[in-house]
Chain A
Amino acid sequence: MEQNYDFNRIGKQMPYTVPDGFFDKLEENVMNEVKAQPVRKKATMIRMAIRAALAIAACIALFLVVKKVLPQDQDTATDDFENVELAFNNLSTEDQDYLLEVYQEELFLENDLNNLNDLNNEESI
């Protein structure tokens, strides 16, 4: 068996294709949607920030409640993630959207998970 594989044989070829004119249509769809949505006013942004803060607080509270109810031997990173996810799933769709929008740059929510763990550890001390 060969110990190596010559990637030059295939280069950057892929089996994926797109419909004709797809990228032009994609650009138009995005631009039309951008134009259709009004620019958010400052007051709306403040209301959104308050809603997001409330949603985060609710998420943390739910997480802490779930954490207390669960047995201690489930205290692993995997379970922590599942608990956050459970708490997140208990939020309304609208609040989930707000949270996701607020944290859209936080790719893996690791910092948030660590913060939640810190909060939980402080409480248990």
Chain B
Amino acid sequence: MTDDNQIIPLIRENAEKGYRLLMAKYKEPVYWHIRRLVVSHADAQDATQDTFLRIFRSFGQYSGEGSFKTWIFRIATNEALRLLGRNQGKATLSLDETPQVTLTMKADDYFDYGNAEAIRLQEAITALPAKQQLAFNLHYYDDLSYKEIAAVTGSTEATVKANYHFAKEKIIKYMNTNN
């Protein structure tokens, strides 16, 4: 896997090559991160494309102080919340709100109906407020540290830990009661 320290200077030297390298590394993690939040494949596709267009357009604003990975996930999260907000007639979804995606899950064409336990786990996750989903998903699926998640969500490490803890408790309760 290419290191971000190779991608950043390459974008400055040869934008197209740099962008391709960036996409090769991040297109799947970014898509799956967004997909877990918005659930629908079509929505995830739109938000992922918008994410990369924003990354490329605003690359000059990346100061290099924070992690490049968290900067990318921050933009992706922002796009996902904006799309979820738009679907509810708002500019963006706040972190305290729970995305209204449960019903769309089973109506999606790109969905594996055979894996009942995986479906239940996603049902449990998508029933959580956005801040708890983000803490859980980014830690569980993307292996981001609490510190990195705090950078993504503009929060503190302690808040992320608390949100992860609450999320996990609720998921365990859901999985046990809906077994």
Contacts and interface: CB of A to CB of B under 8 A. Distances in A.
A100 to B, nearest CB: 7
B49 A33 contact: yes
Task: Sort chain B's interface into a size bin.
Answer: 35 or more
A43 interface: no
Contact of B110 (A17, A31, A101): A17
A9 B94 CA distance: 32
A104 B75 contact: yes
In the complex, which range does the number of interface residues on chain A fall in? 35 or more
B49 A10 contact: no
Contacts of B13: none
Contacts of B52: 30
24 contacts: A2-B176, A7-B140, A14-B32, A14-B122, A15-B115, A15-B122, A16-B32, A16-B36, A16-B41, A16-B110, A16-B111, A17-B111, A18-B110, A27-B23, A29-B49, A30-B23, A31-B16, A31-B20, A85-B91, A88-B91, A96-B91, A105-B71, A106-B154, A107-B81
A4 interface: yes
Interface string A78-103: 00010001001100000010001100
Contacts of A89: 91
A34 B53 CA distance: 7
Contacts, number: 113
A71 to B, nearest CB: 23
Interface of A: 1-2, 4-5, 7, 9-10, 12-19, 22-23, 26-27, 29-31, 33-35, 81, 85, 88-89, 96, 100-101, 104-110
A26 B31 contact: yes
B91 A5 contact: no
B77 A107 contact: yes
Interface stretch (B2-10, B54-62, B157-165): B54-62
